[in-house]
């Protein structure tokens, strides 16, 4: 009887090779996405757009992110994650080209919103591909390994998004808006060509029997986690997307270069904490040292105190630069821990044959929270400005604290322990 191990080993190597490629493509898209966000935000704010108008530029980005996670999970399950990866990269190329090569007169709100809609599709297609793919190459019984890989992937993504923020500020300083975007078009084009040339076989096994109705999870743990995720990410973006950059520029008097550089450092640090989460939490959780619902609950309630504390400090007249910068650093560290735990739990709660759809559903909730946070960030900041220069950010911070409290209450409903999944991962099913 022949030894099947060489075949399994070859399948494992093929899966690992493709995972490295899809992750590299995701990283490139992440840098591009962060750079584009800074370019659009500061370019149009400098043109005199109000905070709410700037926020409106990103509404379609988040709306189409929700739709992408809904339909993208189904597409990934039905046709494989390789398909969603190339759809994502191709769409990003079109989105950037719309801004980079359009006549100047076309750079109005409607055109930019359309471009951002495509960027939202692209970002979530590539993210879903990479975050689903990690489950396909980690053996079913290796929950600790899965936790470490997810934390590293999540942390690296956010660190590279910070690099993108920095790159966007640098490009806008050295080049004009459209020339900077042409450089990003070149980056995505090179990534797409390399992925197409080097990837062998598929990424995961396509399930032709997958039904769209299965996108709406019947897993109670996944649904509860998704609900908590909506409020967790709404809490971040309600002050981070528009309120904080505008506050740094208009109240503290920072240049867009200083603001973009600081936000870049913050996101990079945030990503480093996410990647280090398994080691940081190892002595704080029970059993086999993997987090559970109680871990997410504790972190959420600790996090809720931070934006409230920053708001109280600003209201009490504490130096704005001290209270905002210091508070943001602590907020970022605790938020990173919470986000990394969520990213592990969604995979831990999910059967391997449903991973693309469950991850898509979960990140649909993630995008819903970002949408709410983005709209409220511009609206609350503009409303608060009517009663004082710092009150715009204070209004955003109180909303953030309320959102995190709701996330903590929802996390109380999560399972305390991770149960066994019904269908194990078969590394031999990864394809050639």
Start-end of H helices in 47-176: 51-56, 59-79, 81-100, 109-137, 143-174
Residues 6+ apart with CB under 8 A from 71: 212, 215
Task: From 50, 111, 63, select the one nearest 379 (Cα to Cα).
Answer: 50
For residue 258, what pLDDT is reported? Answer: 81
Question: Which two three-digit tokens encode residue 109?
Answer: 């709100």
Q: pLDDT tens across 351-367, in order?
A: 554 555 556 666 678 87
Cα→Cα distances 142→60, 131, 138, 314, 324, Å: 39, 16, 7, 46, 40
Q: What's the CA gap between 334 and 294, in Å, rounded? A: 15
For residue 250, what pLDDT is reported? Answer: 84
Output phi, psi for 415, to 5 deg. -60, 140
Q: What's the CA gap between 150 and 303, in Å, rounded? A: 21
DSSP string, 298-316: HHHHHHHHHHHHHHHHHHT
Residues 6+ apart with CB under 8 A from 105: none
| Centroid of chain to Cα 214 | 23
Which range (6-15, 111-120, 305-314) has the least confidence? 6-15
3-state secondary structure of 360: helix
Q: What are the residue boundaries of the structural domains of the chain, listed by start?
A: 1-202, 214-420
Question: Which two three-digit tokens encode residue 386?
Answer: 């009517």
For residue 1, what pLDDT is reported? Answer: 44
Cβ atoms within 10 A of the Cβ of 288, count? 10
Question: Which two three-digit tokens encode residue 68?
Answer: 């992408």
Please determine whether the domains at 1-202 and 214-420 fall in the same fold group of CATH.
yes
| Class of domain 214-420 as given by CATH | mainly alpha
Q: pLDDT tens across 113-167, in order?
A: 999 999 989 988 887 777 666 655 555 555 556 556 666 666 677 778 888 988 8
CATH for 1-202 is 1.20.1250.20
Q: What's the CA gap between 406 and 419, in Å, rounded? A: 25
Question: Which range among 6-10, 32-36, 148-152, 262-266 has the greatest average pLDDT?
Answer: 32-36
């Amino acid at each position: 009887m022949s030894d099947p191990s060489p075949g399994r080993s070859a399948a494992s190597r093929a899966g690992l090779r493709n995972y490295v490629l899809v992750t590299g493509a995701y990283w490139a898209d992440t840098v591009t996405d962060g750079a584009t966000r800074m370019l659009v935000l500061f370019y149009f704010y400098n043109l005199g757009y109000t905070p709410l108008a700037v926020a409106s530029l990103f509404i379609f980005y988040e709306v189409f992110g929700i739709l992408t996670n809904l339909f993208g999970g189904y597409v990934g399950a039905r046709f494989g994650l390789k398909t969603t990866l190339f759809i994502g990269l191709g769409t990003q190329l079109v989105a950037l080209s719309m801004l980079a090569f359009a006549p100047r007169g076309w750079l109005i709100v409607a055109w930019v919103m359309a471009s951002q809609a495509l960027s939202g599709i692209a970002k979530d297609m590539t993210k879903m591909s990479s975050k689903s793919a990690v489950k396909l190459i980690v053996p079913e019984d290796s929950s600790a390994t899965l936790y470490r890989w997810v934390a590293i992937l999540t942390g690296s993504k956010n660190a590279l998004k910070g690099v993108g923020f920095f790159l966007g500020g640098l490009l806008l300083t050295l080049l004009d808006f459209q020339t900077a975007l042409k450089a990003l078009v070149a980056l995505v084009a090179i990534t797409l060509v390399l992925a197409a040339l080097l990837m062998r076989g598929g990424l995961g096994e396509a399930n032709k029997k997958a039904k769209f109705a299965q996108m709406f999870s019947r897993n109670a743990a996944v649904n509860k986690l998704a609900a908590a995720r909506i409020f967790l990410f709404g809490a971040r973006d309600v002050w981070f997307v528009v309120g904080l950059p505008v506050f740094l520029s208009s109240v503290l008097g920072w240049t867009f270069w200083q603001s973009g550089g600081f936000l870049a450092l913050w996101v990079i640090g945030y990503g480093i904490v996410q990647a280090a989460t398994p080691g940081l939490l190892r002595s704080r959780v029970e059993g086999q040292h993997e987090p559970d619902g109680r871990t997410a609950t504790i972190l959420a309630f600790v996090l809720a105190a931070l934006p409230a504390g920053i708001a109280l400090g600003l209201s009490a007249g504490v130096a704005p630069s001290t209270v905002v910068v210091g508070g943001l650093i602590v907020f970022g560290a605790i938020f990173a821990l919470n986000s990394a735990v969520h990213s592990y739990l969604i995979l831990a709660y999910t059967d391997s044959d449903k991973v693309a759809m469950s991850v898509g559903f979960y990140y649909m909730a993630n995008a819903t929270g970002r949408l709410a946070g983005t709209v409220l960030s511009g609206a609350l900041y503009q409303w608060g400005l009517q009663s004082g220069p710092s009150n715009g950010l204070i209004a955003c911070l109180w909303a953030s604290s309320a959102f995190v409290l709701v996330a903590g209450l929802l996390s109380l409903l999560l399972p305390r322990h991770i149960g066994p999944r019904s269908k194990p991962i078969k590394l031999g099913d990864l394809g050639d």
